[in-house]
Amino acid sequence: MAEPLRTCVATGKKLPQSTLLRMVCDPAVADPHRLVVVPDPARKLPGRGAWITPTEAAVTQAVARGALHRAFRRGGVIDATAVTAWVSREPTGGSCT
């Protein structure tokens, strides 16, 4: 059986799910004017998810292009520092496999 494909919010490429990082809005942040995005490498957190190529460049590109606003269907100031930190400390360049 083929592995599911997901679309990277930064690049728009369809890639195998295992090569992408799932992100979700932090459910603990109730401020409607802040969009706090956290990594979900285990793919277990509740809520709407978005998939991204796990590189710092992809995270920066997604924030700059407003892709996270579209993916999460929310406005506000984006805080993706948790995702950037996760990607930067992964020894395999952020690979989720």
Query: What is the Cα–Cα distance from 30 to 17, expressed in whole angstroms?
Result: 29
Share of the chain above pLDDT 70, in %: 93
Instruction: Tell me phi and psi for residue 39, to 5 degrees.
Output: -75, 150
- Full domain range(s) for residue 24: 5-89
pLDDT tens, position by position, 66-92: 999 999 988 888 999 999 999 999 866
Beta-carbon contacts of residue 54 (< 8 Å; ≥ 6 apart): 19, 20, 21, 86, 87, 90, 93, 94, 95, 96
Pick the closest to residue 41 from 31, 28, 55, 51 (CA basis).
Answer: 51
Cα–Cα dist 76/33, whole Å: 4
In terms of pTM, does the model score above 0.95? no
Say how many domains are in the chain.
1
Residue 95 lies in a domain: no
Question: For residue 63, what is the domain's CATH number?
Answer: 3.30.1230.10
* Residue 97 domain flag: no
